Every structure is written in C-alpha cells, then in structure tokens.
Amino acid sequence: MTFNRAGGILLHPSSLPETPGIGTIGKQAFKFVDWLAEAKQTLWQMLPYGPTGYGDSPYASFSTFAGNPLLIDLDILIENGWLTKEQAAAPEWIKNEGYVDFGSVVYWKVPLLKTAASQFLEGKGTDLRNQYEAFKNDNASWLDNYSIFMSIKEFYDEKAQKENRFGAMWSNWWPHELAVHDDKAVSEWHSSHVHETEVHKVIQFMFFEQWKALKAYANKNGVQIIGDIPIFVAADSADVWANQHLFQVDQNGRAVAVAGVPPDYFSATGQLWGNPLYNWDAMEKENYHWWVCRIKSLLQQVDFVRIDHFRGFEAYWSVPAGEETAINGKWIPGPAHKLFEVIRKELGEVPIIAEDLGLITEEVRALRDDFGFPGMKVLQFAFDVNEAGQNGFINAFLPHMYNQNCIVYTGTHDNDTMQGWLNNASEEERNLVRRYVSGGVCPEKITDDMLCPLLIKAAFASTALMAVIPMQDVFAIASEGRMNTPSTTGGHNWQWRMSAEHFDSSKASWLRELATLYAR
C-alpha cells in the first residue's frame, strides 16, 4: 500500500465545540473539515468512535462495529423531522463548552435519541425507510446481536439501578441460556422486545447516515480520515457475548485469561487491561473471518486504519483471570503473518498503520515491515538526556533517525500535551530540545513559548510520510488539555473539548505554510 507524504490533526469528534454536552459529527465537524482544508491538512485522525460504557473510554466499546450514539447531531435529526426543537432543547445543566460530562450527556441525550428513533419508526419526518431496510440487511451480521445485547443490558442495568448497585456483566445475566447466547433464548428475548431492539437499530442507522455524509464531505475537500481500533475488545461487549467460542472464556462466559503488558521501567507490576483474549486457534479454523469483517467494516467508514497495540499479533501477554496485577503473565505467540496474509487475500492491500510503541522485538518489526505497514514515532519520547552523548544523538524517536515509512506525532491520546510535557520537563531536557530545534545556533535565544511550535515544525520537516499533530499541541495547550492518563479512571479522561476560537485563521495559515514548505 502506497502512503503519500501528508500532514494532519488528531482530534476526536467528542472534542468538537458548540454543541450541547459533547462534540458531534454534525455542523461543527463539517466546519473542522473546512478549517483543515484552509490549513492544507489532508488527514483527520480520530480515536475509536464506538459506544462507550463505564469509564467513557473509546477503547472499551460495547461493540467494535457500532457507532457511538452520543456523537449523533441533534440538529440534523430536527432537520429530518425525527425530533422537534422543543424536544431537543437542552436543559441548563448541559453546557456547550468545557469538559464533557458523560454521565449528564447520557442521562439527557439517550432518551432523546430513542424518541427520535420511535418517531422515525412511526413514519414522521423524512422518509428513509428504504435506506433503513438496506442498512439493516447490509449490517445484519453485527447489528442484530448488538441491538439485542443493548436491550438486554439496559434491562439489567435498570434493574441494578433500582437495587442501588452496578449493572451486571452479560456473563451474569439470567437465565443462563441468555448469558451464553443460546439461540433459542436469544430469539425468545427478541420476540418479546422487538421495539427496544428496533430502536437501537434505528439509532445506528442515524449515526451512520450522518457519518457517511461527513466522510463524503471530508474526502470531497481533500481530507482523509484515519480510524482507530484497539487490538482487543471490551469484555462487556456484544462482540464477546455473541462470539464466545472465539475468545478465551469458559462455558459460563467468564474469561480464563486476560490481556495486559508485563512489568517494565514504568510499572513494576505491569498493566492489567482485563480484556478477554482471542482464541486464535478457533479464529484460524474460521479463516479469521471475524477479523476480516472487522477491518472491512471500518474501511467502509475511514481511509486508513490504525491498529492499537500491534505487537499483540506477534505475541501477547496472557494473565490468568483473577490476578490483581500483570506480573504473573506470560508471552503467548499470536497469529502473526497468517492473519495478515488472509486479510490481504480477502481485502487486498489494506492501509493499516501499526501502533508499534512499547516493547518491540525484531519479530514484531518483521511482521510490520513484511506487510509494509508504517509504524509510529512520538516526539515526546525523543529527548532522553542519557542518549545525548558525545557519539551523537541517536534516539529512534528523533526526526533525523526516521525511515520514511512511519507517522510522526508530537504526542498521542495517552501522552500529556506537548506543552504540558515541556512544562514538567527538567531544565536539562528543555535545553536539549532547544539545542535540537535551533541546530545548536544560539539555543539560548529559544524561549520556552517557542518550543512547542518548533517541535511541530520538526515533525513536519521530518522524513516521516505522515505528520499528525494533536489539536491541543497546535495551540500549545498545557496539561488541562490532556486527553487520557493511562491506567486511571475519573479525572478528565476523554473529556477535553476545543473552543470555537480554535477555528483560528492565523493557525491555519501557519500550518498551511508548514505543509507547503515541507511538501505535505
């Protein structure tokens, strides 16, 4: 797959401004595309946009195929006649700016979406029934299970709320036949909850109708979308519930081993993610059909696919279920080349970007390079003073060390913002940055407020095929703009929103100049 030299911005749609409670894929998303075009940026990278649950992480979705209902734009539903302005009016405690309060947004917006879906089914507003029926038919392989899963989940979550406790994982649903996805039990549930399941299907239809329009507008204006999928899926998801034979779960649907990463320099106990692991033997017997469908589905929505934790395909860290840390895990070989050979045979040359950060072995590099997948470089990892010796500055994350087949970022969603990192860096580290961005010419004249934009310039000037900059870094926003702190919940994870002032023409002109100077 050939990747062209390009530049772009990392911004999740939830971070867009000026809509009640949360950013959407409506008018403000189109406005962002216009700003990207003005800035001569041809890439818009997003985080996964599936429906999120506890913790609000886009990397822990109820479905790897579904869209997040919270990103649906209400104004478009009003224009289609499926909601009235009066119905969609936001209460005063739903704000158009500031951090996303997911709890409040869910409480207010989900019932509105269900109302809109019901009114669509009643025949109100724009008649798209033919398109809806086609959507259901084209997506039945995941949509049927997802809609039933969500209707059951809502039933048990509501029951738990009345009993003042957290909702139950699907493995605790009763009767047991429902938990293990017995065909008869699932069919009986559906028969008695037809309206509830149909509402979830309509909401997905509404999401993907809006998404289709946004992508078409982006592509028309020269902007390509980089999508993102985590290698693993959430335990509490329709994916695992409906395909238990493809995961390492027991006969009761409970995981026997879970995902994580081993202890390292940053964590003495490793990271215990808790996702159920794949049963790769079962996947192979089905010719990796589930994975082929997953990649194919996303490629119908985006132009490039970034796969998080790519190294897990070569070998994954398996931790016995019930462990409190990741210490007692072990490396287990993954499908490696076999999976991607099938994907290439079924789908052709796929535009995959490999997130190859962390503990990367020669075997992982070979897997990445044998298929020509570009890897990732992060500038925040480049300035280790211990590597700036007399024999030269050789850190692999520095621009002069790149091979062309990579994407450079100032930081990712898991990093502090670049300005936040600079603010917390030691004076020795900042001096090293000054030396690098000045080329050793009067580094003392490089003030602290010049460092962030000069690092962005270094990314654009690099040999990397693509340079992608988080929106927060374009405006040198400090740690208050951080999107996520790994291994934590609460705080402001996933909640940052830009303001309307960030549609700034002077910043667009600067980015346009960088794109022009460095042939992006």
- pLDDT, one tens digit per residue, over 241-286 is 999 999 999 999 999 999 999 987 667 899 899 999 999 999 999 9
Higher pLDDT pick, 167 / 410:
410
* Lowest-pLDDT range of 10-14, 257-261, 388-392, 480-484: 388-392
Residue burial 313-351, b: 16+ Cβ < 10 Å; e: rest: bbbbbbbeeebeebeebeeeebbbeebbebbeebeeebb
Catalytic residue among 56, 198, 308, 416: 308
Show the CA angle centred on residue 234, arms to residues 369 and 488, nearest 5°: 90
Residue closest to 57 by CA, chosen among 481, 489, 353: 489
Mean pLDDT of 401-425: 97
For 467, the enclosing helix (H) or strand (E) is strand 466-470
Res 391: pLDDT:
62
pLDDT tens sequence across 437-469: 999 999 999 999 999 999 999 999 999 999 999
**Using CA atoms, how far apart are residues 233 and 51, in angstroms rounded to an integer?**
12
Mean pLDDT of 194-205: 98
Res 265: pLDDT:
66
Catalytic residue among 18, 209, 414, 429: 414
Mean pLDDT of 97-101: 96
Query: Would the CA dihedral through 84, 87, 89, 90 be positive or negative?
Result: negative
Question: Annotated catalytic, 236?
Answer: no
> Looking at the whole model, is its pTM more than 0.85?
yes
Res 387: pLDDT:
74
Q: Are 43 and 445 in contact (CB under 8 A)?
A: no
Residue 393 scores a pLDDT above 80: no
Give the model's confidence band at 181: pLDDT under 50 very low, under 70 low, under 90 confident, else very high: very high
Q: Which residues contact 413 (CB under 8 A, 6 or more apart)?
A: 10, 12, 47, 470, 483, 484
Please count the other Cβ atoms lying within 10 Å of the Cβ belonging to residue 272: 20
Cα Rg for the chain, rounded, in angstroms?
Answer: 23
Residue 389 scores a pLDDT above 70: no
Give the model's confidence band at 390: pLDDT under 50 very low, under 70 low, under 90 confident, else very high: low
Question: Annotated catalytic, 355?
Answer: yes
Catalytic residue among 56, 198, 228, 355: 355
Q: Which residues contact 347 (CB under 8 A, 6 or more apart)?
A: 292, 295, 296, 299
Q: Are 405 and 372 in contact (CB under 8 A)?
A: yes
Q: Which residue reads 């699932």 in tokens? A: 186
Question: Annotated catalytic, 308?
Answer: yes
Q: Where are the beta strands (DSSP E) in 172-296?
A: 224-230, 257-261, 271-276
**Using CA atoms, how far apart are residues 36 and 34, in angstroms rounded to an integer?**
5
Mean pLDDT, rounded, of the chain: 95
